[in-house]
Structure 1
Amino acid sequence: MTVLVFIDPDYPAGRIADAKLPQLFATDLGATRGDGIFESLLVVEGKPKKIQAHLNRLASSAQLLELQIPSQQQWLAAVDTAITAFGQPDAVVKLLVTRGIEGRPNPTAWVQIFAPPALGKQQRESGLDVLLLDRGYDSDLAQRAPWLLLGAKTLSYAVNMAALRYAHQQGADDVIFTSSDGRVLEGPTSSVLIARREGEKKRLVTPQLDAGILPGTTQGALFAAAQQAGWELGYGPLVPQDLFEADAAWLISSVRLLAPINRIDGQEIGSTQDRTELSAELSAILADTE
């Protein structure tokens, strides 16, 4: 079951729409040009996880696109309505907003809620085989060309989905993008993490954001909690060799959460024991975050 709740000034708590009927105008710029933004988050036991971080990132994306979006209060009200109408304790929520119908000034904004995909749990438990793919631009491009919207979570995910299809055709599960000058970036729908053990010390590292990487809400929450648990933190720049030399590596996202990487380009990352132990420890830390 899918529930749709549109943000409508005539409905303070949001307007529930029939997901089995057409709801989006064919002239909506989200459909015709991919001109819009979105966020995805988990609902666990009826409570949306890290929703403030997602609302903040939605606002940041909107600023990059010069896009007018509803207030945070309107989003929160619509999310509450969607969760109540869905009626299940665990779910995935999407917040979506487009520039609206062409020629009209108002955006189209709605909340979509549905059951969590089974694949996420499977990949958390079994791990991933990943390919490194060149994203086709260097790590300085985001600063030179802000109009490319690197670092915004836009609806234009055609390239990301093509990368995943390519990986599946090659027998892999997912992708880590690299820049043309050799830096590790991110996955099509995830952030990259690696762990290193140095004696009794444990260090968690993610790529720097200055290369146009989308700031990871779940990665940020894990970093804050891991630091409280005694982990050291680091921010790239990372190169592929750092991945191959890590004791463990993961792709992390709001819906799939922490998925260990078994192999990159066919090469095993760390050992089974390290992946299992470190994944269990970090997953427990992540589970305690709001």
Structure 2
Amino acid sequence: MTVLVFLDPAHPDGRIADAGVPALLATDQGVTRGDGIFETLLAVNGAPRKVQAHLGRLAASAQSLSLDVPGEEAWLRAIATAVGAFASASPPAPDEDGNTNVVVKLIATRGPEGAGSPTSWVQATAVPPALAEQRAHGLAVILLDRGYDSTVAQRAPWLLLGAKTLSYAVNMAALRHAHAQGADDVIFTSSDGHVLEGPTSSVLLAHLKDDGGAPVKRLITPSLDSGILPGTTQGALFTAAKAAGWELGYGPLVPADLLDADAVWLVSSIRLLAPVNSIDGTEIGTAEVRARLTAELSALLAQTH
């Protein structure tokens, strides 16, 4: 079941379209060139999570592409329409916590060639069952070289490394390569050896230490100046973890930091917090510690909005 709601000035709350019939022109530059942006968020019990963070990142991506997209109010109205229509047509079953979840995707392209106006829509779908499986059982991950050094984003902003664009062919190819190697996912590294991000996720790691008898928990993520996408879920979790007494840290990180960690996760708005069991065949921490920290941080993440 998919619900499509196009942002249309003639329809203030968005225009619902039949997802079973063609809805885009073949000349739309999102199709022909991957020239566009998107965001994916989770609606829990009908309410979109971290929506302002996602809309802010959408606006930043649009600015990077010099793309004129609708304003926040138009997106919020279309999101509400899409989530409501999906709940009416295909009520999602509650998850293990009793919540209903809907995947909400915001998409904007440069529009048809020569039209001079964007095509923008909201898509609502069910949460893929495989994501709950990954959260519950963890991931086998491999490291892949992205082919850029960690300073290229500053030297070459036209590469759009910090924008969430529709050009995801490389990311999907990396995942197919991982699956062919018997792995579940990928962590990209830079050509100069820095840890970056996953194809569809942010990277987090945790270190536990004893500071003179007092346990210290530290949560670390790669630095944003390496050209990675700012993670909305990572940002929300950092805020909650800090309030709960965790120390926070930002890279630069190298692969040895991942292998030395007590736990590593790939995090995103839909998959949430998926523990990494192994990297290139090397187990990360212990199963007991991974499970305990994942439960603790998942509880903190559930409190964010």
Paired with 2:76 and 2:249, the residues of 1 have a C-alpha distance of 33
Give the match for residue 53 of structure 1: 53
Code of the residue aligned with 2:30 in structure 1: it is: G
**Which of 253, 260, 276 is 2:268 aligned to?**
253
TM superposition shift of 1:160: 0.1
Query: Which consecutive segments of 4 or more residues in structure 1 shift more than 3 A?
Result: none
Tell me if 1:22 matches 2:18.
no
What residue number does 1:267 align with? 282
Question: 1:119 and 1:141 mapped to 2: Cα distance?
Answer: 34
**Normalization by structure 1: what TM-score?**
0.99
What displacement does 1:105 show?
Answer: 1.1
Question: Cα offset for 1:198?
Answer: 1.2
Question: What SS does structure 1 have at the residue aligned with 2:264?
Answer: strand
Question: Out of 209, 233, 240, which is 1:225 matched to?
Answer: 240
AA paired with 1:241? Answer: A
Residue 193 of structure 1 aligns with an amino acid whose one-letter code is L
Structure 1 counterpart of 2:142: 131
For 1:120, the equivalent position in structure 2 comes to 131
Match of 1:13 in 2: 13
Helix, strand or coil: the match of 1:202? strand
Query: Among residues 164, 171, 181, which one is paired with 1:170 in the alignment?
Result: 181
| Unmatched tracts of structure 2, length 5 or more | 92-99
CA displacement, residues 168-197 of structure 1 (integer Å, 9 cap, x when unaligned): 000000000000000000000000000000
Match of 2:222 among 193, 207, 222: 207
Amino acid at match of 1:262: N
Identity %: 68
Give 5+ residue unaligned stretches, structure 1. Answer: none
1:108 paired to 2:119: yes
Q: Distance in 2 between matches of 1:83 and 1:240?
A: 40
Structure 1 vs Structure 2 CA RMSD = 0.5
The 5 Å alignment of 1:80-91 reads 80-87=80-87, 88=91, 89-91=100-102
- What secondary structure sits across from 2:191 in the alignment? coil
Code of the aligned partner of 2:245: G
Q: Please list the CA deviations of residues 197-216 of structure 1 after superposition, one character each: whole Å capped at 9, or x if unmatched.
A: 01100000000000110000
Equivalent in 185, 196, 210 of residue 196 of structure 2: 185
Report deviation, 1:97.
0.1
Task: Report the Cα offset of residue 222 of structure 1.
Answer: 0.1
SS class of match (2:63): helix
